[in-house]
Protein backbone atom coordinates (compact mmCIF):
# COMPACT_ATOMS: atom_id res chain seq x y z
CA UNK A 1 0.00 0.00 0.00
CA UNK A 2 2.73 2.43 0.98
CA UNK A 3 4.82 1.49 -2.05
CA UNK A 4 1.85 2.04 -4.33
CA UNK A 5 1.05 5.45 -2.83
CA UNK A 6 4.70 6.47 -3.03
CA UNK A 7 4.76 5.55 -6.67
CA UNK A 8 1.71 7.62 -7.40
CA UNK A 9 2.79 10.52 -5.20
CA UNK A 10 6.57 10.65 -4.75
CA UNK A 11 6.27 13.59 -2.37
CA UNK A 12 4.65 11.36 0.25
CA UNK A 13 7.22 10.37 2.90
CA UNK A 14 6.69 8.11 5.86
CA UNK A 15 7.15 9.52 9.32
CA UNK A 16 7.23 7.38 12.46
CA UNK A 17 5.00 9.52 14.63
CA UNK A 18 2.68 11.03 12.07
CA UNK A 19 2.32 8.27 9.52
CA UNK A 20 2.37 9.78 6.08
CA UNK A 21 3.16 13.45 5.65
CA UNK A 22 3.09 15.39 2.42
CA UNK A 23 6.05 17.57 1.56
CA UNK A 24 6.07 19.81 -1.50
CA UNK A 25 8.53 19.28 -4.35
CA UNK A 26 10.38 22.38 -3.21
CA UNK A 27 11.64 20.49 -0.17
CA UNK A 28 13.64 18.33 -2.54
CA UNK A 29 14.81 21.42 -4.43
CA UNK A 30 16.21 22.75 -1.19
CA UNK A 31 17.96 19.44 -0.49
CA UNK A 32 19.77 19.80 -3.80
CA UNK A 33 20.90 23.27 -2.80
CA UNK A 34 18.44 25.00 -5.11
CA UNK A 35 16.19 26.87 -2.79
CA UNK A 36 13.21 28.64 -4.25
CA UNK A 37 13.45 32.41 -4.65
CA UNK A 38 10.89 34.28 -2.57
CA UNK A 39 10.37 38.04 -2.74
CA UNK A 40 8.26 39.73 -0.08
CA UNK A 41 6.84 43.24 -0.57
CA UNK A 42 5.29 45.83 1.71
CA UNK A 43 2.76 47.89 -0.22
CA UNK A 44 1.41 51.34 0.58
CA UNK A 45 -1.53 52.65 -1.43
CA UNK A 46 -1.27 56.00 -3.21
CA UNK A 47 -2.41 59.06 -1.30
CA UNK A 48 -6.15 59.61 -1.72
CA UNK A 49 -7.04 56.08 -2.86
CA UNK A 50 -9.90 54.51 -0.87
CA UNK A 51 -9.48 51.18 0.90
CA UNK A 52 -12.24 49.74 -1.31
CA UNK A 53 -10.50 50.80 -4.53
CA UNK A 54 -7.17 49.48 -3.26
CA UNK A 55 -8.76 46.12 -2.43
CA UNK A 56 -10.33 45.90 -5.91
CA UNK A 57 -6.94 46.61 -7.51
CA UNK A 58 -5.30 43.93 -5.32
CA UNK A 59 -7.87 41.41 -6.55
CA UNK A 60 -7.21 42.46 -10.16
CA UNK A 61 -3.45 42.28 -9.60
CA UNK A 62 -3.83 38.76 -8.23
CA UNK A 63 -5.88 37.72 -11.27
CA UNK A 64 -3.32 39.27 -13.63
CA UNK A 65 -0.50 37.30 -11.96
CA UNK A 66 -1.77 33.99 -13.34
CA UNK A 67 0.28 32.81 -16.29
CA UNK A 68 3.21 35.21 -15.93
CA UNK A 69 6.31 33.34 -17.22
CA UNK A 70 8.58 32.17 -14.41
CA UNK A 71 6.24 33.30 -11.64
CA UNK A 72 5.25 30.18 -9.72
CA UNK A 73 2.93 31.92 -7.30
CA UNK A 74 1.85 35.41 -6.26
CA UNK A 75 -0.08 36.24 -3.14
CA UNK A 76 -1.21 39.62 -1.87
CA UNK A 77 -2.84 40.06 1.55
CA UNK A 78 -4.35 43.19 3.03
CA UNK A 79 -2.91 44.35 6.33
CA UNK A 80 -5.87 43.97 8.70
CA UNK A 81 -4.15 45.26 11.84
CA UNK A 82 -0.76 46.62 12.89
CA UNK A 83 -0.51 45.66 16.58
CA UNK A 84 2.04 47.53 18.69
CA UNK A 85 1.87 45.49 21.92
CA UNK A 86 4.98 43.42 21.23
CA UNK A 87 6.91 41.40 23.85
CA UNK A 88 10.20 42.85 22.57
CA UNK A 89 10.94 46.48 21.63
CA UNK A 90 8.45 47.67 19.00
CA UNK A 91 9.83 48.65 15.60
CA UNK A 92 7.63 51.15 13.80
CA UNK A 93 7.79 50.98 10.02
CA UNK A 94 4.74 53.20 9.52
CA UNK A 95 1.46 52.39 7.83
CA UNK A 96 1.40 49.45 5.40
CA UNK A 97 -1.70 48.56 3.35
CA UNK A 98 -0.80 45.13 1.97
CA UNK A 99 1.91 42.49 1.85
CA UNK A 100 2.69 40.69 -1.40
CA UNK A 101 4.89 37.71 -2.10
CA UNK A 102 6.30 36.18 -5.29
CA UNK A 103 7.69 32.65 -5.61
CA UNK A 104 10.15 31.52 -8.32
CA UNK A 105 11.59 28.03 -8.78
CA UNK A 106 15.14 29.26 -9.38
CA UNK A 107 17.30 32.06 -10.84
CA UNK A 108 16.48 31.01 -14.40
CA UNK A 109 12.73 31.32 -13.74
CA UNK A 110 13.27 34.68 -12.04
CA UNK A 111 15.17 35.96 -15.08
CA UNK A 112 12.43 34.66 -17.41
CA UNK A 113 9.91 36.60 -15.30
CA UNK A 114 11.99 39.79 -15.43
CA UNK A 115 12.32 39.54 -19.23
CA UNK A 116 8.65 38.79 -19.86
CA UNK A 117 6.38 41.33 -21.57
CA UNK A 118 3.41 39.98 -19.59
CA UNK A 119 5.33 40.78 -16.40
CA UNK A 120 5.94 44.31 -17.69
CA UNK A 121 2.20 44.78 -18.29
CA UNK A 122 1.58 43.50 -14.75
CA UNK A 123 3.99 46.09 -13.36
CA UNK A 124 2.15 48.80 -15.34
CA UNK A 125 -0.99 47.83 -13.43
CA UNK A 126 1.06 47.86 -10.23
CA UNK A 127 1.97 51.48 -10.90
CA UNK A 128 -1.73 52.42 -10.85
CA UNK A 129 -2.38 51.26 -7.27
CA UNK A 130 0.97 50.78 -5.49
CA UNK A 131 2.03 54.15 -4.13
CA UNK A 132 5.16 52.88 -2.37
CA UNK A 133 6.89 49.50 -2.32
CA UNK A 134 9.46 47.93 -0.02
CA UNK A 135 10.91 44.66 -1.35
CA UNK A 136 12.71 41.95 0.61
CA UNK A 137 14.35 38.84 -0.81
CA UNK A 138 14.01 36.18 1.88
CA UNK A 139 15.73 32.84 2.44
CA UNK A 140 14.97 29.72 4.45
CA UNK A 141 16.63 29.19 7.82
CA UNK A 142 16.72 25.41 7.32
CA UNK A 143 15.59 22.73 4.91
CA UNK A 144 12.54 22.23 7.13
CA UNK A 145 11.41 25.66 5.91
CA UNK A 146 12.83 25.43 2.42
CA UNK A 147 9.43 25.45 0.75
3-class secondary structure for the chain? CHHHHHHHCCCEEEECCCEEEECCHHHHHHHCCCCCEEEEEEEECCCCCCHHHHHHHHHHHHHHCCCCCCCCEEEEEECCCCCCCCCCCCCCCCCCCEEEEEEECCHHHHHHHHHCHHHHHHHHHHHHHCCEEEEEEECCCCHHHCC
Rule CB under 6 A: say whether 36 interacts with ligand 3ML.
no
Cβ atoms within 10 Å, residue 5: 12
Residue span binding ligand 3ML (CB under 6 A) among the ranges 49-57, 80-88, 106-114, 121-129: 121-129
Residue span binding ligand 3ML (CB under 6 A) among the ranges 11-19, 47-55, 107-115, 122-130: 122-130
- Distance in Å, CB of 84 to ligand 3ML, minimum: 25
Which of 35, 58 has the CB closer to ligand 3ML? 58
Determine whether 87 is an active site residue.
no
Site map 59..98 versus ligand 3ML, x via CB under 6 A: --x--------------x----------------------
Rule CB under 6 A: say whether 43 interacts with ligand 3ML.
yes
Rule CB under 6 A: say whether 41 interacts with ligand 3ML.
yes
Cα(37)–Cα(135) distance, integer angstroms: 13
Rule CB under 6 A: say whether 37 interacts with ligand 3ML.
no
**Chain centroid to CA 50:** 25
- Which residues are known catalytic residues? 61
Residues that bind ligand 3ML (CB under 6 A): 41, 43, 61, 76, 100, 122-123, 126, 130
Amino acid sequence: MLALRRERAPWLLSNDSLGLVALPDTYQSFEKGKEMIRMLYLLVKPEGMSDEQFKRECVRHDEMSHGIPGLLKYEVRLVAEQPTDTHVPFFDIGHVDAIGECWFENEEAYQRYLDSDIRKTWFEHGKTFIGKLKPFRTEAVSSRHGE
